[in-house]
Structure 1
């Protein structure tokens, strides 16, 4: 497990640069989870990225399976990208650790198209309490591990307003993503309003 986390952090550093802050959270009966903060100082985009570290140490397993394998199963870490300075987004560190712990605590398999709901704002005053899990492979490439281990995938998180989350439950992730695209929604805006929904 420790070796996988070392490789995972190295992949994050290769893709995002050096983290300028990190926080660790341990929940009762679980492993330690860290959240690393990366600021885009070279690109000048004003984007801050938060990435979990610890979720990939164990594979996610189906809670209904009668027999589980300690090695096989999908592995992932979560990445959230936001525009810096408009809100106190650094308060998202603990909520992200909660989401990263959900496979171990609740037996959830986190995969693209899933909704993850915190039941509280992602940070104080945030208009979002849930996220849509996006497709991996864009910002941070998958980390291949020695067989039979599955690769570590870096899953982007897309904040959803309560209206968007409700609409997604009825219409599905693909239609919500198409709606965002059609309206040119800036998903990195920590203060954005809900996209226009039919």
Structure 2
């Protein structure tokens, strides 16, 4: 699909890599179109980027007819200090998160808290994520379609998720900053709240 090729080009350009320098996994759920998870290794980090969430605009689940062109579009990016193996289950979790707008009618946006109900990857203490703004620029689509936004995915523990529900996303980010927690470390502990 043209939208996905435009989005793919945008993210590869941002990271300065070609198609052959990227690993990809595909996740398919019954009744949904596939979602690809791109794995981009760069210096000290590995970026996992969804490709497929922006295929269709997110819309109001209560609307009788979905607008096939207008509405916000988003993809997700998770950056970790070290990569996780293909059998970790991370690709499936990111696919679930990217499919949330279609499955649950949720509009993905900064400060949203999403819970997958199981560890994000095998052995992880994180079952939820906090979305935030990304440094990856929006990908402009032909009018009247809205641009595709990238949102960062930050894994959070159950305690941190509860903190967000009570105090808000900003309070958790402040707690991380005060404690010097690197949220890109897959082995990190929870913030003391």
Conserved 8 A contact 1:116-1:132: yes
Aligned to 1:169: 165
Runs of 4+ in 1 over 6 A off after TM superposition: none
TM superposition shift of 1:67: 3.9
Aligned to 2:40: 38
Aligned to 2:144: 148
Please give the secondary structure, in 1, of the residue aligned with 2:70. coil
Please give the secondary structure, in 2, of the residue aligned with 1:52. strand
**Structure 1 vs Structure 2 CA RMSD:** 1.5
Please give the secondary structure, in 2, of the residue aligned with 1:176. helix
TM superposition shift of 1:166: 0.6
Q: Deviations over 1:105-154 (max 9, x none)?
A: 11111111101101000111001011000013x1x111111221110001
Aligned to 2:4: 5
Q: Deviations over 1:148-195 (max 9, x none)?
A: 111000110011011100111000111111111222210011011111
Q: Deviations over 1:69-94 (max 9, x none)?
A: 11111001000001115x64853011
Query: Is 2:171 the counterpart of 1:184?
Result: no
Aligned residues: 189
Matches within 5 A, 1:99-110: 99-110=97-108
Task: Give, in whole Å, the separation in 2 of the partners of 1:88 and 1:165.
Answer: 26
Conserved 8 A contact 1:8-1:152: yes
Please give the secondary structure, in 2, of the residue aligned with 1:167. helix
Conserved 8 A contact 1:92-1:122: yes
Q: Which blocks of at least 5 consecutive residues in structure 2 are unaligned?
A: none
Task: Give, in whole Å, the separation in 2 of the partners of 1:91 and 1:104.
Answer: 21
Please give the secondary structure, in 2, of the residue aligned with 1:126. coil
Aligned to 2:58: 60
Matches within 5 A, 1:63-142: 63-84=61-82, 88=85, 90-136=88-134, 138=135, 140-142=136-138
Q: What TM-score comes out, normalization by structure 1 length?
A: 0.90
Q: Which blocks of at least 5 consecutive residues in structure 1 are unaligned?
A: none
Q: What TM-score comes out, normalization by structure 2 length?
A: 0.93
